[in-house]
């Protein structure tokens, strides 16, 4: 009798816990205005703030090859003002409203966003509609931002150790695809830009039917939708098509190897493997492979190179999951006195191991656990949610990935990881760069 | 190429005029008004103390299925002098082995549950999904309560710390941060002492264990549980995993409070070849956290440069002048000593102008009342920042920790915005007059001395420091009237043997050796007139680098790759291949400008800038006493920016009547300075041209 009672109590407990288990999915409402502007709303009333973001489907890959850096430069210019906003006032409006604004430009997209106290939502919508409808830039603005971008280039790339690695990788990893130049582009190209370049770029890409507006945070949906219609509904759409590079990037066709002599004290090795786009199924296995190699202290490359062999000071695998042909970059900074070649051999040995041996069930479970933690962490803020929704929508055409991507990872098998290691992580599919201290003069 | 008169908006208008005019678009003219300000609900937290004195804080938040554990050991700041770096190493050692597990086992356990765990000199931090919380906490307890300090792990920690220094010394912003600390606090203060290879090597594993034994006590510590966990559960877990931790006495050390300099000075660190200057205007202040001054100072800082792109500094230096990608300021309160800091990186040409403009902008806070409208904007900004920060439960935990740690009033954070709101322009000026000391600041500049140092004299006396903030001694000698660069070079040629003897040298071979990390490196270099060269570098018998140059072309074979030497590089190599290039400086159209007298390893030397006809510069130093060349510094411009190599020459000895340096130290080309010994020199042994042949 007692046992039976306990069992039923257990049953109740199980049912209760199932019922009260948190529903962790991100709910949102997605619709499209008549002018083609996609809108995604995600309500979260836990903090009285709201993030407004507009992602334009334009990045450095949409640039004219002799105007590289234009998309990023344009991002700077679009803070200069508009028909109704004077120069310098854009950020002042946001700051005085207690908000924070910023933007980024990638190879595929440009994202503008501000996080504001919830009572300032309308301000955010007004600002973004001004940017989309009639941005305004004068010569002083262009001159100033050009200097600012030059300083950005110096600070982020030139004056920082190994700062130029992505520039060096891209130009060797791609022959045709417009990922072959970096978002920062070329100063000469920016200097050569003419009035029509600016006008055309704005006309071509800064239009509602090339953008998604995301609102995430504390707002009243009905009111929000009304404001969205008011501020964005009458912005004219672009007729005709958008320039999307339709370039077939040939296989790398053999290992590319080079040495960069730089102002660094420790040698470093960058191995960049060509991998498929973020929209191919293999990307999930590749992501897990990268974690296997360098996520956490027990990851294979960290354990081998940093702990056991003491060859490297640091090692990391980063996936650049572009909309087009993508890159997996593994890099290691050598310990003092260790030769770059020894570091590279140790990296290769770890790749070989994955190619030859199926990873253990336990190590595979570890990867799944890491993916799960990361999945929830990225949704911690309204900005994080807005950014994910906009990115999934723009680059994969499916904002629901914010909820379902975890399942895609869970579908990956141990065999998949071995398979992608053999398929993509081969010498003839990679660019290897050594960063070495500038050699002593004899 | 200059672009004249262009206004994007004209076209934007053209584009839109048709569609927009039809409608009533007046609502677009002005910024919309905000709705009523929302109320910010600061999340609640619970706090209790274990029997051993450990303060526990619990911030419940179930939005995500995650927990964070934060252990703060409030160890009193202490200077470790010739063992600087000890505390950091001790902190890292905690997770590198316990009485139960090795580092690899700990790492596996943490990674397996998808968690993260780190330890430091002042505690530990862990985070995981809530379903793994107990597992993670048990590991965290194990590393904090039972670290084993294994010797071999300690050696690795030390080795990595030393490698880290090499990285630090090549990063201008890291140099700027470190030198700023030395300038503000002095190198005897806990906040100002500098880790060097020497101090790190002085630390033993016993020192690390002592640091831990002395400081890691529950009665000076705080443990915060944040996220998907309730107070009851937290209490149970805290007792279970930290209840047995034994209390102890931890003494505070006393340190003299650092003071600002008497007058504003420029503290310059030379990084040859830098394309930007890292600027930091800074000095120590006596400002305690939680005081009324601290709140007003925070508002003042937001006006100046604590906020976004609309702060005064960014508007002026970035948006108006385009000198920088961004400049920021900080006014930081602290129990021991706080600091003021304002800076960023700017391009070389505008370094002095940027410093002057920043000082003016900063000083304006003392001279002019902040307009009410601007202040209202700043208050709104601080309101919004506060609101945004409360999005993360970690913020509530931080507030709770600060309240306990700094003994702040219980309602300090709840009433924080009211206190901000009460700050007036007059109050700001009062605070500015107290804490804004533009006449008593260290202006730390890390940059290219040749290009930017001199104009900085208009800001204040320029003092020179090395990359770890140690002063560089000034030379005693002055340049004699009428002495030219070529006079100095002629004296040098005379000193090493005289032109006649030098001209008679047809070839020379040298054998050199050095060691790196215990590995022997040997180098053989042969040179023959005119400009032929062959060089082989071997490490433990393996050839690392082979260079050949036949006078016109050549190759470098390094790490299995052969690269040709051609074009500009060939010109460069030609110069290197010459036996005594100084002999023909004049005839090849070089200029040699004498620019000063500086110390080279304690010896006064004339500093000569030698420029070739293409404008490439080498800085050469010749002893004022012996006329011998002591040092040469080359800056090379490449596609990756510029870089510098320094060669120091010493121990000159005569071979066949010609003085040859027997020791050469190279700095900037390798992870650590490398000293080459010249073991053998042969002159005019009749080397055949075949030795230099390039296929």
Q: Label residue B673 by pLDDT band (50, 70, 90).
A: low
Separation between Cα atoms, residue B493 and residue B486, nearest integer Å? 10
What is the C-alpha separation between B237 and B132, in angstroms, rounded?
13
Q: Comparing C-alpha atoms, which of B136, B125, B131, B128 is closest to residue B69?
A: B125
Distance CA B556, CA A259 (A): 12
B303 closest CA partner among B293, B312, B314, B295: B312
For residue A337, which residues of chain B lie inside 8 Å, CB to CB?
516-517, 519, 671-672
- Which strands form A38-43's sheet, in the order they lie side by side? A29-32, A38-43, A211-217, A49-56, A110-117, A100-105
Which chain B residues are Cβ-neighbours of A261 within 8 angstroms?
Answer: 638, 640, 643
Look at residues A133, A100, A38, A134 and name the one whose alpha carbon lies nearest to residue A390. A38
- Residues in a beta bridge with B347: B276
* Residue of A160, A199, A262 lying closest to B8 (CB–CB): A199
Q: Which of A92, A96, A161 sits opposite B171 (nearest CB)?
A: A161
Closest CB from A120, A159, A231 relative to B345: A159
| Interval B204-226 mean pLDDT | 97
- The superfamily CATH assigns to domain B265-386+422-465 is Metalloenzyme, LuxS/M16 peptidase-like (3.30.830.10)
- The ranges of chain A annotated as CATH 3.30.830.10 are 29-232, 256-437
Report the half-sphere exposure of B585 (CA within 13 A, side-chain side): 24
**If you average pLDDT over each of A169-183, B5-19, B608-622, which comes out highest?**
A169-183
* pLDDT for res B307: 73
Please say if the pLDDT value at position B20 is more than 70: no
Looking at per-residue pLDDT, the higher value among B237 and B567 belongs to: B237
The pLDDT of residue A439:
64
Q: What digits encode the pLDDT tens for the residues B576-616?
A: 788 888 888 888 889 898 888 887 877 888 989 898 888 88
Residue B566, pLDDT above cutoff 90 = no
Dihedral (Cα; B487, B488, B489, B494), 10-degree rounding: 90
Structure confidence at residue B602 (pLDDT):
76
pLDDT band at A124 (very low <50, low <70, confident <90, very high): very high
CA distance B503 to B579: 10
pLDDT of residue A242: 93
B665 vs A332, more confident: A332
Name the average pLDDT for chain A: 90
Question: Which CATH number does A256-437 carry?
Answer: 3.30.830.10
DSSP H helices in B485-640: 485-495, 499-503, 567-577
A23 confidence band (pLDDT: 50, 70, 90)? low
Which of A3-7, A256-260, B57-61 shows the lowest per-residue confidence on average (mean pLDDT)? A3-7
Domains B265-386+422-465 and B485-692 in one fold: no
Whether residue B392 has pLDDT greater than 90: no
Q: According to the CATH classification, is domain B485-692 in 3.40.50.300?
A: no
Token pair 């040698």 is found at A267
**Of the segments A19-23, A67-71, B218-222, which one has the largest average pLDDT value?**
B218-222
Please report the residues numbered 240 through 269 in chain B whose beta carbons come closer than 8 angstroms to any beta carbon of chain A.
none
Taking CA–CA distances from B175, the nearest residue in chain A reads A160
Instruction: Write out the two tokens for A177.
Output: 């695809």
Using a CB-CB cut-off of 8 Å, the residues of chain A touching B13 are: 83, 134
CA–centroid distance for A264 within its chain: 27
Q: Is the pLDDT of residue A442 over 50?
A: no
Distances (CA, A) of B688 to A366, B536, B692: 64, 17, 8
Residue B673, number of CB atoms within 10 A of its CB: 12
pLDDT at B19: 41
Positive/negative CA dihedral, A149, A154, A158, A162: negative
Q: Between these two residues, B228 and B472, which has the higher pLDDT value?
A: B228
The mean pLDDT value for B452-481 works out to 86
Most confident of B270-274, B330-334, B385-389: B330-334
CA distance B515 to B522: 8
Cβ proximity of B250 and B213 under 8 Å: no
**Residue A195 confidence (pLDDT):** 79
Q: Does A260 touch chain B (CB under 8 A)?
A: yes
Q: What is the mean pLDDT of residues B125-149?
A: 96
CB neighbour list of residue B82: distance below 8 Å, 6 or more residues apart: B198, B199, B202
Other CB atoms within 10 Å distance of the CB of residue B180: 24
pLDDT at B127 over 70: yes
Say if B347 is an interface residue toward chain A (CB within 8 Å): yes
pLDDT band at B669 (very low <50, low <70, confident <90, very high): low
- Is the pLDDT at B671 greater than 60? The verdict is no
What percentage of chain B has pLDDT greater than the value 90?
Answer: 56
A430 phi and psi angles, rounded to 5 deg: -140, 160
- Asked whether the beta carbons of B32 and A123 are under 8 A apart, the reply is yes
Using an 8 Å CB-CB cutoff, list chain B residues near A162. Answer: none
Query: Residue A303: closest CA among chain B residues belongs to which residue?
Result: B104
Q: For testing the chain B interface, which of A155, A218, A338, A361 should be mutated: the one with the most B CBs within 10 Å? A: A155
Q: What is the pLDDT of residue B2?
A: 29
Residues from chain B contacting residue A378 (CB–CB below 8 Å): none
Contact A288, A330 (CB under 8 A): no
pLDDT at residue number B14: 32
Name the closest residue on chain B to residue A340, using Cα atoms.
B559
pLDDT at B685: 87
Q: What is the pLDDT of residue B516?
A: 65
| Mean pLDDT over each residue of chain B, to the nearest integer | 88
ipTM of the complex: 0.82
Q: Is the pLDDT of residue B158 over 60?
A: yes
Q: Label residue A154 by pLDDT band (50, 70, 90).
A: confident
Least confident segment among B157-161, B413-417, B570-574:
B570-574
Burial class (CB in 10 A: 0-12, 13-18, 19+), B61: buried
Q: Write out the two tokens for A153.
A: 């280039």
Chain A interface includes B273 (CB < 8 A): yes
**Is the bond leading into A157 cis (omega within 30 degrees of zero)?**
no
In the block, residue with structure tokens 């990063």: B171
Which residues between 295 and 334 in chain A have a beta carbon less than 8 angstroms from any beta carbon of chain B?
295-299, 303, 306-307, 310, 313, 333
> CA A231 to CA A213: how far, in whole Å?
12
Q: What pLDDT is stored for residue B559 in this prediction?
A: 62
Q: B620-634: per-residue pLDDT in tens?
A: 999 998 999 998 888
Above 70 in pLDDT, residue B637? no
Closest chain A CA to residue B667: A440
Closest chain A residue to B671 measured between Cα atoms? A265
Domain boundaries along the sequence of chain B: 46-242, 265-386+422-465, 485-692
Cβ distance A371 to A2 under 8 Å? no
Cross-chain CB nearest to B322 (options A147, A234, A297): A147
Looking at chain A, the whole-number percentage of residues with pLDDT higher than 70 is 94
Which comes out higher in pLDDT, residue B548 or B207?
B207
Whether residues B322 and A362 touch (CB distance < 8 A) is answered with no
- The verdict on B317 touching A (C-beta cutoff 8 Å) is no
- Concatenating the DSSP letter of every residue in B476-516 gives S--PPTT--HHHHHHHHHHHTT-HHHHHT--EEEEEEEEEE
Architecture of domain B46-242: 2-Layer Sandwich (3.30)
Structure tokens at B190: 């806990």
Better-scored residue on pLDDT, A130 or A25: A130
Per-residue pLDDT band at B301 (split at 50, 70, 90): very high
Average pLDDT over residues B538-564: 78
Which uninterrupted H or E stretch holds A139?
A: helix A139-153
Q: What secondary structure does DSSP assign to B379-434, as a single string?
A: HHHHHHHHHHHTTSHHHHHHHHHHHHHTT--TTTTTTHHHHHHT--HHHHHHHHHH
Q: What is the pTM of this model?
A: 0.75
Share of chain B above pLDDT 70, in %: 92
Measured between CA atoms, the residue of chain A closest to residue B576 is A442
Residue in B8, B322, B376 closest to A137 by CB? B8
CB of B345 closer than 8 Å to CB of B175:
no
pLDDT at A168: 94
- Do A75 and A103 meet the contact criterion of CB atoms below 8 Å apart? yes
- Out of B8, B377, B380, name the one closest to residue A202 (CB): B8
Regarding the domain with residue range A29-232, which homologous superfamily does it belong to in the CATH classification? Metalloenzyme, LuxS/M16 peptidase-like (3.30.830.10)
């Amino acid at each position: 009798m007692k046992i039976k009672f306990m069992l039923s109590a257990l049953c109740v407990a199980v049912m209760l816990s199932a019922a009260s288990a948190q529903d962790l999915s991100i709910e949102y409402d997605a619709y499209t205005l008549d002018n083609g502007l996609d809108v995604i709303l995600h309500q979260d009333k836990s903090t009285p703030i709201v993030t407004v973001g507009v992602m334009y489907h334009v990045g450095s890959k949409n640039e004219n090859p002799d105007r590289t850096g234009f998309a990023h430069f344009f991002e700077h210019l679009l803070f200069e003002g508009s028909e109704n906003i004077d120069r310098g006032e854009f950020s002042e409006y946001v700051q005085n409203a207690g908000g924070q604004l910023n933007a980024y430009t990638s190879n595929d997209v440009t994202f503008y966003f501000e996080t504001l106290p919830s009572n300032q939502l309308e301000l955010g919508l007004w600002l973004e509609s001004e940017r989309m409808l009639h941005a305004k830039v004068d010569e002083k603005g262009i001159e100033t931002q050009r200097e600012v971008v030059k300083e950005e280039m110096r600070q982020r790339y030139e004056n920082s150790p190994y700062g130029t690695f992505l520039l060096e990788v891209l130009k060797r990893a791609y022959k045709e695809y417009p990922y072959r130049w970096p978002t920062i582009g070329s100063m000469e190209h920016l200097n050569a830009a003419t009035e029509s370049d600016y006008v055309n770029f704005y006309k071509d890409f800064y239009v509602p039917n090339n953008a998604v507006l995301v609102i995430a945070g504390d707002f009243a949906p009905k009111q929000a939708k009304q404001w969205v219609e008011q501020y964005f509904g009458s912005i004219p759409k672009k007729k005709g098509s958008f320039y999307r590079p339709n370039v077939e990037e040939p296989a790398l066709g053999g290992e590319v190897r080079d040495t960069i002599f730089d102002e660094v004290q420790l040698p470093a090795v960058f191995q960049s493997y060509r991998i498929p786009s973020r929209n191919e199924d293999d990307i999930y296995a590749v992501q897990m492979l990268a974690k296997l190699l360098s996520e956490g202290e027990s990851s294979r490359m960290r354990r081998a190179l940093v702990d056991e062999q003491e060859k490297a000071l640091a090692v990391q695998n980063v996936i650049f999951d572009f909309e087009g042909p993508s890159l997996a970059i593994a890099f290691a900074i050598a310990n003092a006195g260790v030769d770059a070649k020894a570091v590279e051999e140790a990296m290769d040995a770890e790749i070989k191991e994955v190619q030859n041996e199926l990873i253990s069930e336990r190590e595979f479970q570890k990867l799944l656990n890491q993916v799960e933690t990361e999945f929830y962490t990225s949704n911690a803020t309204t900005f994080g949610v807005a950014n994910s929704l906009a990115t999934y929508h723009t680059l994969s055409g499916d904002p629901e990935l914010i909820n379902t991507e975890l399942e895609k990872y869970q579908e990956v098998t141990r065999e998949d990881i071995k398979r992608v290691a053999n398929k993509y992580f081969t010498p003839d599919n990679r660019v290897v760069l050594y960063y070495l201290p500038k050699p002593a003069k004899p | 190429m200059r672009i004249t008169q262009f206004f994007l908006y004209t076209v934007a208008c053209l584009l839109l005029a048709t569609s927009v005019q039809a409608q009533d678009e007046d609502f677009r003219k002005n910024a919309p008004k905000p709705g009523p300000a929302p109320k910010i609900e600061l999340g609640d937290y619970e706090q209790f103390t274990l029997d051993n004195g450990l303060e526990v804080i619990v911030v419940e938040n179930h939005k995500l299925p995650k927990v964070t554990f934060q252990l703060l050991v409030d160890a009193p700041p202490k200077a470790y002098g010739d063992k600087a770096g000890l505390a950091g190493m001790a902190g890292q050692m905690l997770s590198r082995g316990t009485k139960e597990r090795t580092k690899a086992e700990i790492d596996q356990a943490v990674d397996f549950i998808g968690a993260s765990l780190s330890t430091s000199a002042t505690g530990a931090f862990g985070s995981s999904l809530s379903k793994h919380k107990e597992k993670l906490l048990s590991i965290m307890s194990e590393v904090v309560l039972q670290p084993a300090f294994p010797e071999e792990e300690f050696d690795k920690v030390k080795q990595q710390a030393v490698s880290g220094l090499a990285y630090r010394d090549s990063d201008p912003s890291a140099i700027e941060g470190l030198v700023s600390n030395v300038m503000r606090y002095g190198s005897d203060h806990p906040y100002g002492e500098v880790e060097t290879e020497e101090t790190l090597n002085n630390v033993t594993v016993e020192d690390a264990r002592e640091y831990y034994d002395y400081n890691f006590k529950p009665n000076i510590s705080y443990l915060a549980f944040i996220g998907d966990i309730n107070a009851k559960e937290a209490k149970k877990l805290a007792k279970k995993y930290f209840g047995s931790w034994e209390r102890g006495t931890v003494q505070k050390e006393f340190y003299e409070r650092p003071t600002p300099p008497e007058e504003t000075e420029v503290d310059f660190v030379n990084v040859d070849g830098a394309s930007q200057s890292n600027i930091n205007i800074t000095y120590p202040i006596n400002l305690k956290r939680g005081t009324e001054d601290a709140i007003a100072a925070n508002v003042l800082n937001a006006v100046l440069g604590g906020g976004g792109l609309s702060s005064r500094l960014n508007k002026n230096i970035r948006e108006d002048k385009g000198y920088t990608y961004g400049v920021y300021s900080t006014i930081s309160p602290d129990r021991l000593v706080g600091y003021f800091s304002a800076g960023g990186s700017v391009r070389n040409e505008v370094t002095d102008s940027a410093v002057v403009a920043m000082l003016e902008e900063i000083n304006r806070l003392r001279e002019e009342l902040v307009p009410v409208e601007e202040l209202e904007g700043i208050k709104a900004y601080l309101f919004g920042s506060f609101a945004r920060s409360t999005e993360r439960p970690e913020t509530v935990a931080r507030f709770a920790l600060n309240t306990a740690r700094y003994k702040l009033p219980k309602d300090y954070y709840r009433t924080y915005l009211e206190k901000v709101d009460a700050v007036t322009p007059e109050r700001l000026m009062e605070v500015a007059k107290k804490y804004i000391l533009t006449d008593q600041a260290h202006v730390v500049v890390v940059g290219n001395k040749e290009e930017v140092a001199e104009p900085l004299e208009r800001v204040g006396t320029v003092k020179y420091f090395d990359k770890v903030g140690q002063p560089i001694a000034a030379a005693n000698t002055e340049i004699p009237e009428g002495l030219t660069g070529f006079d100095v070079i002629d004296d040098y040629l005379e000193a090493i043997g005289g032109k006649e003897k030098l001209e008679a040298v047809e070839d020379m071979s040298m054998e050199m050796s050095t060691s790196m990390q215990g590995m022997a490196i040997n180098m053989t270099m042969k040179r023959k007139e005119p400009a032929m060269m062959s060089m082989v570098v071997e490490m433990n018998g393996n050839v690392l680098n082979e260079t050949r140059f036949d006078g016109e072309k050549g190759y470098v074979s390094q790490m299995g790759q052969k690269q040709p030497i051609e074009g500009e590089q060939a010109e460069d190599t030609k110069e290197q291949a010459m036996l005594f290039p100084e002999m023909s400086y004049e005839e090849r159209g070089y200029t040699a400008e004498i620019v000063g007298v500086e110390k080279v390893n304690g010896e006064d030397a004339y500093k000569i800038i030698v420029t070739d006809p293409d404008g490439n510069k080498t800085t050469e130093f010749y002893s004022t006493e012996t006329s011998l060349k002591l040092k040469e510094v080359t800056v090379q411009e490449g596609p990756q920016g510029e870089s510098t190599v320094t060669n120091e020459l010493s121990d000159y000895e005569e071979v066949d009547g010609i003085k040859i340096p027997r020791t050469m130290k190279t700095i900037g080309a390798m992870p650590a300075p490398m000293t080459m010994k010249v073991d053998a020199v042969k002159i005019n042994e009749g080397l055949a041209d075949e030795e230099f042949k390039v296929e």
